[in-house]
Amino acid sequence: VLETVDSTNNFAKAVAAQGAPHGTVILSDHQSGGRGRRGRSFSSPKGMGIYCSVVLRYDVPPEKLLHLTTVIAEATRRALAAETGLDVGIKWTNDLVLEKRKLCGILTELSLEAETGLTGYVIPGTGVNCGQQPADFPPEIRDMAISLEQALGRPLDRCALAAEMIRQYHLATSEMLTNPGPWLAGYRAHCLTLGQDVQILQGDQIRLAH
């Protein structure tokens, strides 16, 4: 548990490279350089969110882990439901949303072993907006983001939520290779983008998927 860090994913990658074992969890009260997908920043003010990364080690080819972000999203949704009672939706593939606004983002990064082509480690990082009010969000995302405190109308116990997230991550990552079905079913049941057109971004190219 850190007071501040540039990015919990960066810190997790550093300790993973030094041999940190499967299941190592990094939490920080603040990120100075929180990151999202495609190089975007993730606003991470001190004392207002849960910023969490997990070191996972699976001795499998990376294609076996394609649904990891999906499983982590469902695990996060279950933790939020258990601690807040809120009906949070999932926006494919890696955002959790509430009232059509972003509540949580997930960034998954991995390392490959060149000799074997197997995964060295994989790190899912999760950022949950907990205590922000509208003025705490950067102006460019103020209308697109929401916090749990805004939705609940009251403060919440970040430690209790973080503990439940870690518990759900332990369950999910223990079953990801052997019994992913219930987690994927939960994801589908709460996915808001099923049946809708989505854009797939690959480098500078954008294509429509149905």
pLDDT tens digit string along 16-61?
999 999 999 999 999 997 776 555 667 788 999 999 999 999 999 9
Residue 207 pLDDT grade (very low, low, confident, very high; cuts 50, 70, 90): confident
Q: CB of 49 within 8 A of CB of 34?
A: no
* The predicted structure's pLDDT at residue 188: 96
Dig out the tokens for 51 from the structure: 């910023």
Instruction: For residue 141, give the DSSP letter.
Output: G
pLDDT of 180 > 80? The answer is yes
pLDDT average, residue stretch 194-200 = 77
Beta bridge partners of 199: 208
* The predicted structure's pLDDT at residue 193: 86
pLDDT average, residue stretch 115-129 = 94
Residue 202 pLDDT grade (very low, low, confident, very high; cuts 50, 70, 90): confident
pLDDT tens digit string along 50-83?
999 999 999 999 999 999 999 999 999 999 999 9
* The predicted structure's pLDDT at residue 36: 60
pLDDT of 9 > 80? The answer is yes
pLDDT tens digit string along 133-157?
999 999 999 999 999 999 999 999 9
Is the preceding peptide bond at 126 cis, omega within 30 degrees of 0? no
pLDDT of 208 > 70? The answer is yes
* The predicted structure's pLDDT at residue 45: 85
Quote the CA–CA distance of 130 and 155 in Å, as a whole number: 8
For residues 114 and 199, the model is more confident at 114
Average confidence score pLDDT of the chain = 92
Rounded (to 5) percent helix, strand, coil in the chain: 35, 30, 35
CA distances from residue 67 to 1, 19, 114, 178 in whole angstroms, order as listed? 27, 24, 22, 13
What type of residue is 200? I
> How many other C-beta atoms can be found within 10 angstroms of the C-beta atom of residue 198?
13
